[in-house]
A and B are shown apart, each in its own frame.
Chain A
């Protein structure tokens, strides 16, 4: 399908979403041929269910998160959906504040979200309500902190200085 044809098809999808619930679409971002629909967090699971059941987005390709610290709302959770019958892609996104980074899990909609959401919980510290098995997955269960947050240091371990710092090397 050509780029413009794809654009038309996704704008039809966005219109259908608006027609279903005008509150579900708080913003639409078009960037380099990718359509992002920003959804209020209360409506995320309902929108996801509508996308899967009515709009044929049957394949959850990826789920990921982003931290814009110190800008508020700092977290973004994105779900990349693929419609295998329609050959279309769309991204659902919800924004979360640093004070309360929780959102409804989409595991009841796509079971494949299970590990993807566990990874986000583990590395970014976002909690998913209704997730059947929300545990750390890549890091040990007693790990403190969430390394992919922007305020978590890349080098060094929490308050211990990095071995690359000159002060540490001298000792």
Chain B
């Protein structure tokens, strides 16, 4: 078995520890004897929807995010839309999450997003939403906790038909008001929980691996259990920090 990961704009969209998520996926595949391949798609490059199993898009600084948004709309949107329709597993974090919507606001300026999910991101008066966060999410195998850290100025609102990733237990989530965090569409996940989201939530990493392999090989894989004592301790630590 092989899992083919494609990192979108890793040079531009890596503001905070995004490589931790990728490293975590890689090790957990390799420890189970699942071959792992890493490819990157940067500015000016297209996207072949059938060539990859798992897509990753991190967050970036404002200047980079602006350039990436324009490049993605021009060169990758169609390939990405086809891959998501086909059920590809994808994780988009923070700035990458905002780019998936119809539009987002950078300062006073309103920029077009990819329009792949029904959401938009706006500025509102008030402080940035910063802090430890815990949410409850069900990705088809029962409600589970996702713990992490959020740090965003933008407020994201989901459209009528869009499903949140989860319900905020502690923290702000999409906008600090409606109790929603992130978005889910097929096997695409968008979230404000940045940095080492997967290391703090090993079950979520494994769920993404399983969804990616299921699309490629046609049936849900049996993922061999790993010695997750440190992983569980880290999740408990992050969850406790959010609930404190």
> Do the two shown chains form a genuine complex with each other?
no
Residues of A within 8 A of B (CB): none
Q: Report which B residues bind A (CB closer than 8 A).
A: none
